[in-house]
Structure 1
Amino acid sequence: MSRTTRFSRSAEAPARAGRTPLTAARPGTLAALAAVGVLALAACGTGSGGSGGGSDTLTEIDYYDAAPQNTQLPQILDACGKQVGVTIKHQQVPRAQFMPKLLQQASARSLPDLALIDNPDLQQLAATGGLVSLSKAGLSTTGLYPSIVQAGQYQGQTYGIAPGVNGLALYYNTDAFTAAGLTPPKTWDELTADARKLTHGSRYGVAFSAVGTEEGAFQFEPFFWTAGADLKKLDSPQAEKALGLWKDLVGSGSASKSVVTWTQADVNDQFMAGNAAMMVNGPWQLPTLNGNKKLHFGIVPIPVPDAAAKPVTPLGGETWTVGHSNAGREANALKVVKCLLGRDESAKWSKDAGYIPSNQQAAAQLAASEPQMAAFVQEIGTAKARTTELGTAYPKVSQALADAIQASLAGGTAPKSALAQAQQSAQN
């Protein structure tokens, strides 16, 4: 959630969405990393349906509503447009209106030439037949994380590709941990114990987003999946165990009851203000956190149920897609995508958005050179695309899961009952 909406928003970027080791991103380092992951895309088109018009002006749409993405993306688009010899008309649509608008345009075969969409929405849009197959257009995904490639596929074809991804990890206030004589938690038991010990006065032990949207589901999925739960069966004992963890944290006072209304940006604000000793959040928050020189923090992988488990986090981040139009427009749009995935633009995007390169070798180099990103990179190897289990059914199930979280944390419903209702809703 992708910003996922700053994760992705994948969730707000799904979504969507304080400086210690990553003090200042080094352009030279990022450029070198991006160079490793340059993607080859043949500039060709098919010209089947879609909107007409000249091929020297292309349309682009995304849902970014906050810096740095909303500030930098138009500049990157302009640069790639000039390189290709086209003008790109940029349009930003509020996240809640974004997919309804695209699906309406797809039904009318009038999708924008370029769209940057949250990766869990990709399959739903590809199913309309309105997107160009990047596989057939010659896109190479060699060297990319398999899970990232899978996130951009529908029925065996690649319809979207992310220049980089994001995920979730656990931020912790190092001053608070030192004062309490604690080390960062690795297991759920340690997380629970540390959160209880760190809760004092106006400060809660931990903060996370449990808002009733994809953003809340995105934040819950690392605990849900790491417990062994499956989106096809929301009411499993494993899912109940994961939701029980969150309910216990809120019920004990270790987490604020307000988590049901907090977005990931709100959680970040609470952490920066010293109102939470730990938080679940993504790397897109680093520029803001690192701007607060009085804040000292570290980042570790999401705690797991037991020492033998590994965190399974959802892949956040957006994918570039090309809408069907005519041969000339598609060819130019594909050239623009090739540019957007190129060395300089990928380097700028990685720096500004706080993303992890999709290329495995580049990601490993990033972890070695930028310690703040190490936990996020470590988790990518076991991360999961949100549509892997359900395909186009994911949005409906995700909302059912978000509703269950709300019912349990805000409504007082037992996790077992809330998840049973969610499973019933998902099946209807």
Structure 2
Amino acid sequence: MDPTRHRLRAAAVMSAAALAATAVTGCASAPDPGTVTVLNSATDSLEHAQEQKFFDLCAKPLGVRVRQTSVPADQVASKALRMASSHSLTDILELDGSEVPQFAATGGLVPVRKAGVDVSGMSKSAVTMGSYRGTQYGVARAVNSLALIYNKDLLSRAGLKPPTTWDELKRTAKKLTHGSTFGMAFSATPDADGVYQFLPFFWSAGGDEAHLDDGKGAPALQLWKDLVAGKAASSAVVTWNQQDVNDQFIAGRAAMMINGPWQVPVLDQHKGLHWAVAPIPVPNAGDPVVPPIGGTVMTIPQTRDTGRQHTAAKIINCLNEQHNQVAWGESVNNVPTMTAAAAQYARQNPKLAAFASEVATARSRTDRVGARWPVVSDALSGAFQSVLTGGASPRAALKQAQARATAGE
């Protein structure tokens, strides 16, 4: 999902170490043997109902029912901690992929294979999103990433095709800029949205979040600087979150934008807007695009009740059967994580095929730095903000970012 829905509160991260200690000790009232409980962030009524539909489908053959507890995404971690403290943690805990390391590091999650979850056939990127130090603790049914969404009419009138390289991106964006319309739009806010949008450029250039000052990611900062300085992108990108970017695109004030599949329902409401999706441009022709992978993963908290854990695993296995993954992906405009399911999804939804193709090379934000990701993310956002608003050089900004990340560890 959109990373704006998945920000782990610092207090919850600081307190997460208590999860393992409280989840497996003390006394609590016996849970209902016929009910499997889930904590997630499906507060939207439609999403909650869709979730329940799939849960019911998979629970019925097991002779159980599923009860969801849904809270806003930024409250899931603290809610889980409170439930663990009162020995009432749910059987399935749905976390943002970037939150998994903080909980896995405490020993509060069961490795999914140990619980009986089948992860064969899952894409490598999806495996890394639910893993910590080589062990998989979470399973995603479907994931999202980013792509280049463009206005077909504006490009057609200008005789242009979607750009595939950074040089083409700069030229195309410049040609599409006129009047109140900018050629390109992206989010460069100093938070999860901006970092999520910067990573495809940073990683595709060879940038390493574990070594921000190695110089390899500097060209990505230079690209963003060139787009803004050349007025092919608005200087207001430093204040636009991903929804703002979508609003600019819908209003015709941006011919192209970086955004995710969660915007599709809104885009489809505007019948006069003809849009299409293409892969994010890369530094040189033939380079692989390396976007971040996002979404939620289902984890099984560490409790003493292995029987309930195995029942939870059976439900998760059912949810991840190919036909269920495809159906779920289509309901939320996300890409299934099983390779075969992703291929079927792309065939059935050609308009969104670019998202499916990019997931194959996508990476988890926590893959290399694990639980250090929050401080690295803050450091990266400081780097592109200082370049776009303060005139810092890309190399100097990333050198400062590495110092900031090291100090924040």
Specify the TM-score bucket, using the shorter chain as the normaliser: 0.7 to 0.9
Tell me the amino acid that sits aligned with residue 377 of structure 1.
A
- Residue of structure 2 aligned with 1:379, choices 353, 358, 362: 358
Note if 1:353 corresponds to 2:352. no
Q: What is aligned with 2:12? A: none
- Residue of structure 1 aligned with 2:97, choices 119, 122, 139: 119
Tell me the amino acid that sits aligned with residue 4 of structure 2.
T
Following superposition, the deviation at residue 319 of structure 1 comes to 0.8
Q: Which runs of 5+ in 1 are unaligned?
A: 13-46
Give me the CA root mean square deviation: 2.6
User: Matches of 1:254 and 1:425 in 2, distance apart?
Assistant: 30
Q: What is aligned with 2:30? A: 53
Note if 1:140 corresponds to 2:139. no
Tell me the amino acid that sits aligned with residue 349 of structure 1.
W
Q: What is aligned with 2:262? A: 284
User: Matches of 1:219 and 1:100 in 2, distance apart?
Assistant: 27
Q: What is aligned with 2:134? A: 156
After superposition, the C-alpha distances for 1:140-185 in whole angstroms (9 at most, x for unaligned) are 2222212212222223332111111211110110100011111110
Q: What is aligned with 2:405? A: 426
Q: What is aligned with 1:322? A: 300
More helix by share: 2
Tell me the amino acid that sits aligned with residue 232 of structure 2.
S
Following superposition, the deviation at residue 190 of structure 1 comes to 0.9
Following superposition, the deviation at residue 112 of structure 1 comes to 2.9
- Residue of structure 2 aligned with 1:270, choices 235, 248, 257: 248
User: Matches of 1:290 and 1:141 in 2, distance apart?
Assistant: 34
Following superposition, the deviation at residue 125 of structure 1 comes to 1.1
Note if 1:416 corresponds to 2:395. yes
Following superposition, the deviation at residue 105 of structure 1 comes to 5.4
After superposition, the C-alpha distances for 1:217-272 in whole angstroms (9 at most, x for unaligned) are 11111000000110111123222211121122222222222222222222222212
User: Matches of 1:230 and 1:162 in 2, distance apart?
Assistant: 25
Following superposition, the deviation at residue 307 of structure 1 comes to 1.0
- Residue of structure 2 aligned with 1:241, choices 209, 212, 219: 219
Tell me the amino acid that sits aligned with residue 214 of structure 1.
A
User: Matches of 1:422 and 1:311 in 2, distance apart?
Assistant: 23
Note if 1:305 corresponds to 2:283. yes
Is contact 2:264-2:333 (8 Å) kept? yes
User: Matches of 2:3 and 2:79 in 1, distance apart?
Assistant: 18
* TM-score of the aligned structures, taking structure 1 as reference length: 0.83
After superposition, the C-alpha distances for 1:330-377 in whole angstroms (9 at most, x for unaligned) are 233333323332456434321121111212122223323322122122
User: Matches of 2:294 and 2:45 in 1, distance apart?
Assistant: 17
Note if 1:223 corresponds to 2:223. no
Is contact 2:322-2:340 (8 Å) kept? no
Q: What aligned pairs does 1:10-25 form with structure 2 within 5 A after superposition?
A: none
User: Matches of 2:64 and 2:309 in 1, distance apart?
Assistant: 12
Q: What is aligned with 1:205? A: 183
Q: What is aligned with 2:15? A: none
Tell me the amino acid that sits aligned with residue 210 of structure 1.
A
User: Matches of 1:70 and 1:209 in 2, distance apart?
Assistant: 28
Following superposition, the deviation at residue 295 of structure 1 comes to 0.9
Is contact 2:326-2:336 (8 Å) kept? no
Q: What aligned pairs does 1:29-178 form with structure 2 within 5 A after superposition?
A: 49=25, 53-54=30-31, 55-64=33-42, 66=44, 69-70=47-48, 72-102=50-80, 111-178=89-156
Note if 1:390 corresponds to 2:379. no
Q: What is aligned with 1:39? A: none
After superposition, the C-alpha distances for 1:42-66 in whole angstroms (9 at most, x for unaligned) are xxxxx95586531334432223455
User: Matches of 2:48 and 2:227 in 1, distance apart?
Assistant: 35
Q: Which runs of 5+ in 2 are unaligned?
A: 9-22
The 1:80–1:393 alpha-carbon spacing in structure 2 relative to 1, beyond 3 Å, is same
Moved more, 363-372 or 268-277: 363-372
- 1:299 is paired with a residue whose SS is strand
Q: What is aligned with 1:17? A: none
- Residue of structure 2 aligned with 1:250, choices 228, 245, 251: 228
Q: What is aligned with 1:339? A: 318
- 1:235 is paired with a residue whose SS is helix
Moved more, 153-162 or 298-307: 153-162
Q: What is aligned with 1:405? A: 384
Moved more, 372-381 or 58-67: 58-67
Tell me the amino acid that sits aligned with residue 316 of structure 1.
G
Following superposition, the deviation at residue 288 of structure 1 comes to 2.2
Is contact 1:145-1:360 (8 Å) kept? yes
The 1:135–1:300 alpha-carbon spacing in structure 2 relative to 1, beyond 3 Å, is same
Tell me: higher relative CO, structure 1 or 2? Use CA pairs within 8 A at least 6 residues apart.
1
The 1:299–1:220 alpha-carbon spacing in structure 2 relative to 1, beyond 3 Å, is same
